[in-house]
């Protein structure tokens, strides 16, 4: 799945305490990863949705997220070559480019964003949550690394509810398979109280994250909940959920957001504070990473700010009240996995996006449809129509890819966005006329 930590080099204007903190956290993390062998640390590779970071920390394992590596490759403009490398080796042009970026990167020496080689994983934790591709991706990695692979299945929330059968199934897998295997690989005995401690810390940071994301209900919104949101979810979706670092990061961020609200300021963009907020959008779907800045600019140049997005829920959906609960340590991990955005049924997604448009008083829904990603993309045209119908607000559809630069057509996207903004204007004009009549 996709989430990122630090999209591109931030310009000088972005030197808030939270930014500096995140940079430092990421640098430390990548150093720990790339020095794992020298330091005798064991490495686990896993996914962002269904990321069991608290559990992983109980075994002193270092968390490596191939999706985040793919994003980093996209941002550093290396993914295009990696994808082609994988296709040359026989991977189909039709499948997810995260997988191909990862496989191509391995073929080219597996160099991480800090310029050092990423370690081979000691264990693959295949947390099968919300995306079919995960299963095949880690079968492919297992073929390569020949290492222990631990499987955890998250049933799909097809009927919009979590059933006791789902929870029992997941808890059993954790108890009988996942935990014993992690103990074996790491040589560390599982301590449930240690897990509780981490979960408590997770919940603390999650409170602040929700506060930050919901601050976009203000007008103007002090944050961009998609492009900016991708920075904000980095620590909690990645290797920091359950740590003091994450708590501190979100505290800094929350203070900054409060300051912006008090000053009536909009979001900070790579070109400095955003001018007047003209359009408020809800965005569905992952972003494009190969042209991340350019894509973002198409929004802020026009005064468009994203007030809510589904992508910032792929590594956990916290805004409906879920928090990691130290009193039910294994059940809470199960509920966390079950609740991630891509594990939610299509009717749930429609409802969620409809509510976002209403609650965040957005002008409409924009879908960025990703060629790579069937999990997100199959059904998005229906989602668009339904949300449009239920909110009475216009929706629009653009198509790009995550990390394959061949599928980012700047002119095309820009055109579509411009006509979408015009559509919003027309709609507003219509509403005003109606009101005047």
Partner 1 sequence: MTTQTTTSIIDRCQALYEDLEFTAARDWKDAKPGRKVIGYLPVYIPREIIHAAGMLPLGILGGGDQLEVIHGDAYYQSYICRIPRSTIELGVSGRLDFVDGMLFPSICDVIRNLSGMWKVMFPGVYSKYFDVPQTYEDEVGGTFYENELGELLHDLEELAGRKVGEDDLRRSIEAYNRNRQLVRQLYALRAQKPWQVPAAEAYLVIRAGLVLPVEEHSALVEQYLAAAEAESRPIRDNCRVIVTGMFCEQPPLNMIKSLELSGCYVVDDDLMLVTRWLIGDVPLDGDPLHNLSAAFLHHSECTAAKYEPNQEEKGQYLVRAVRSTGAEGVIFASPSFCDPALLDRPMLQNILKAAGIPYIAFKYAENSGQMQPIREQAGTFADSIKLWSAA
Contact residues for partner 1 (CB under 8 A)?
Answer: 89-92, 94-96, 99, 126, 128, 131-133, 135-137, 139-140, 142-143, 146, 149, 151, 153, 155-156, 158-159, 165-166, 168-169, 172-173, 176-177, 345-350, 369, 371, 374-375, 377-382, 386, 399
Copy the structure tokens of residue 293: 């800045």
Minimum CB distance to ligand SF4, residue 39 (Å): 29
- Least Å distance, CB 315 to partner 1, is 18
Query: Binder to ligand SF4 among 6, 243, 269, 342 (CB under 6 A)?
Result: 342
Of 306, 295, 316, 369, nearest to 74 by C-alpha is: 295
Find the binding residues for ligand SF4 in span 398-427 (CB under 6 A). 402
Residue 349: count other Cβ atoms within 10 Å of its Cβ. 21
3-state secondary structure (DSSP) of residue 148: strand
Q: Which tokens belong to 427?
A: 């709609």
Nearer residue to partner 1 within complex by CB, 98 or 252: 98
Which of 316, 311, 3, 288 has its CA nearest to residue 129? 316
The reply to whether 98 sits near ligand SF4 by the rule CB under 6 A is yes
Residue in 131, 247, 387, 417 binding ligand SF4, rule: CB under 6 A = 131
Q: How far is the CB of 403 from ligand SF4 (least distance, A)?
A: 9
The one segment of 77-85, 215-223, 323-331, 367-375 that binds ligand SF4 by CB under 6 A: 367-375
| 349 touches 341 (CB < 8 A) | yes
User: Residue 173: which of partner 1, ligand SF4, none does it interact with, CB under 5 to 8 A by kind?
Assistant: partner 1
Which residue pairs, CB below 8 angstroms and at least 24 apart, start in 76-85?
76/113, 77/290, 77/405, 78/105, 79/104, 79/289, 79/290, 79/403, 79/404, 79/405, 80/290, 80/403, 80/404, 80/405, 80/406, 81/108, 82/107, 82/108, 83/403, 83/404
The item of partner 1, ligand SF4, none sharing an interface with residue 399, based on CB under 5 to 8 Å by kind, is partner 1
Question: Do residues 191 and 236 make contact, with C-beta atoms less than 8 angstroms apart?
Answer: no
* H helical segments located in 282-328: 292-300
Residue 18's alpha-carbon distances to 37, 233, 308, in angstroms, are 30, 12, 20
Minimum distance between the CB of residue 333 and ligand SF4, rounded to whole angstroms? 20
Quick check: 96 binds ligand SF4 (CB under 6 A)? yes
List the one residue from 372, 380, 391, 400 that touches ligand SF4 (CB under 6 A). 372
Give the residue closest to ligand SF4 by C-beta. Answer: 373
Q: What angle do CA 283, 71, 210 make, to 5 degrees?
A: 45
- Which of these ranges, 86-94, 101-109, 266-274, 374-382, lies near ligand SF4 under the rule CB under 6 A? 374-382
CB-wise, 148 or 277, nearer to partner 1?
148
Token pair of 213 as six digits: 């994301």
Q: In whole angstroms, how close is the CB of 372 to ligand SF4 at the nearest point?
A: 5
What are the residues binding ligand SF4 (CB under 6 A)?
A: 1-2, 96, 98, 131, 133, 342, 372-376, 402
């Amino acid at each position: 799945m996709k989430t990122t930590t630090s999209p591109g080099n931030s310009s000088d204007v972005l030197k808030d305490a939270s930014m500096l903190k995140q940079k430092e956290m990421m640098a430390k993390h990548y150093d720990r990863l790339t020095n794992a062998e020298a330091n005798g640390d064991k490495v686990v590779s896993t996914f962002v949705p269904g990321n069991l970071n608290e559990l992983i920390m109980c075994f002193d394992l270092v968390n490596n997220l191939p999706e985040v590596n793919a994003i980093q490759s996209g941002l550093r403009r290396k993914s295009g070559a990696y994808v082609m490398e994988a296709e040359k080796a026989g991977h189909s042009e039709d499948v997810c480019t995260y997988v191909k970026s990862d496989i191509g990167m391995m073929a080219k020496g597996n160099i991480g964003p800090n310029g050092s080689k990423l370690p081979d994983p000691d264990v693959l934790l295949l947390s099968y949550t919300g995306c079919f591709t995960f299963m095949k991706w880690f079968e492919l990695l297992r073929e390569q690394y020949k290492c222990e692979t631990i499987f955890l299945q998250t049933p799909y929330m097809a009927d919009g509810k979590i059933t006791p059968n789902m929870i029992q199934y997941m808890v059993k897998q954790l108890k009988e398979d996942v935990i014993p295997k992690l103990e074996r690989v790491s040589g560390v005995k599982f301590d449930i109280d240690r897990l509780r401690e981490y979960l408590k810390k997770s919940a603390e940071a999650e409170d602040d994250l929700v506060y930050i994301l919901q601050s976009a209900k203000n007008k103007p919104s002090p944050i961009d909940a998609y492009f900016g949101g991708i920075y904000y979810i980095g620590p909690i979706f990645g290797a920091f959920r359950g740590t003091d670092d994450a708590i501190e990061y979100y505290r800094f961020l929350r203070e900054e957001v409060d300051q912006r609200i008090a000053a009536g300021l909009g979001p900070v963009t790579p070109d400095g504070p955003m001018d007047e907020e003209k359009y408020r959008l809800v965005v569905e779907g992952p972003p494009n990473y190969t042209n991340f800045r350019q894509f973002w600019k198409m929004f802020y140049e026009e005064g468009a700010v994203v007030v809510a997005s589904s992508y910032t829920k792929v590594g956990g959906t916290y805004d409906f009240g879920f928090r990691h609960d130290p009193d039910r340590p294994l059940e809470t991990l199960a509920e966390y996995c079950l609740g991630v955005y891509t594990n939610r049924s299509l009717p749930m997604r429609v409802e969620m996006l409809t509510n976002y448009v209403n609650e965040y008083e957005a002008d409409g829904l924009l879908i960025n449809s990703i060629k790579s990603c069937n999990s997100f993309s199959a059904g998005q045209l229906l989602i668009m129509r339904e949300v449009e119908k239920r909110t009475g607000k216009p929706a629009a559809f653009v198509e790009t890819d995550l990390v394959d630069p061949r599928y980012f057509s700047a002119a095309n996207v820009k055109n579509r966005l411009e006509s979408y903004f015009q559509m919003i204007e027309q709609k507003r004009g219509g509403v005003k006329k109606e009101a005047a009549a």
